[in-house]
Amino acid sequence: IEADDAVSMRQHELNKEGVDNIVITVDKDAMQCEGKVFNPRNLRLTTVDKFGSLRLKNSDSGKKLVGTGLVWLLAQIIMGDKVDGYLPSDLHGKRVGPVATYKYLSGATGVNDAWKRAFNAYKDLFGDGELTWTDHYGTVHTGNYLDVMQMYATCAFMLRNGNHIDVHKIYA
């Protein structure tokens, strides 16, 4: 288990117990977890709700996508994370940056709609036929866009109570 997952799991436990708590981190992945997150780099305290939000902001290198909650998790699943070393574009070969990811998810009206938009993004990017890919361990897999999405969702998802995200179950 990674340290950031241990922190998010503890935050989840404290939230369930009704204990007021604040996670202090510069890790943007923590912004997908419900609760209070303080970033000491920008001195910002953010309260993250389940659904969350996304916005595009200007940066020195162009547009940057920032977000919270579920929609931030879905953005990470679609766009990937170069710092954490997973990029779906390595498999589908299309450029999917902050603006394209924002377009896929913006306007979502709730949890189900956000997931539907993410599923449609993966279907758009990978197609609905059979795919073959090699994972980071060198293992060859065959499946469809949902199987690929599962792999990247596992990379992006911060554990809360030891659980893992199940894309197929959510899709069903």
Instruction: Give percent above pLDDT 70 in the chain.
Output: 99
Name the residue with higher pLDDT: 23 or 4.
23
Predicted confidence at residue 109, as pLDDT, reads 95
Beta bridge partners of 46: 37
The answer, as to whether pTM is greater than 0.75, is: yes
Averaged pLDDT for residues 5-22: 93
pLDDT band of residue 2 (cuts 50, 70, 90) is confident
Q: What is the pLDDT of residues 16-31, one digit of tens each?
A: 999 999 999 999 999 9
pLDDT, the chain, mean:
93
Q: What is the pLDDT of residues 25-79, one digit of tens each?
A: 999 999 999 999 999 999 999 999 999 999 999 988 889 999 999 999 999 999 9
Averaged pLDDT for residues 134-138: 88
Distance CA(47)–CA(68), nearest Å, equals: 9
Count other Cβ atoms within 10 Å, centred on residue 22.
14
- Token pair listed for 66: 């920032």
Predicted confidence at residue 106, as pLDDT, reads 95
pLDDT band of residue 162 (cuts 50, 70, 90) is low
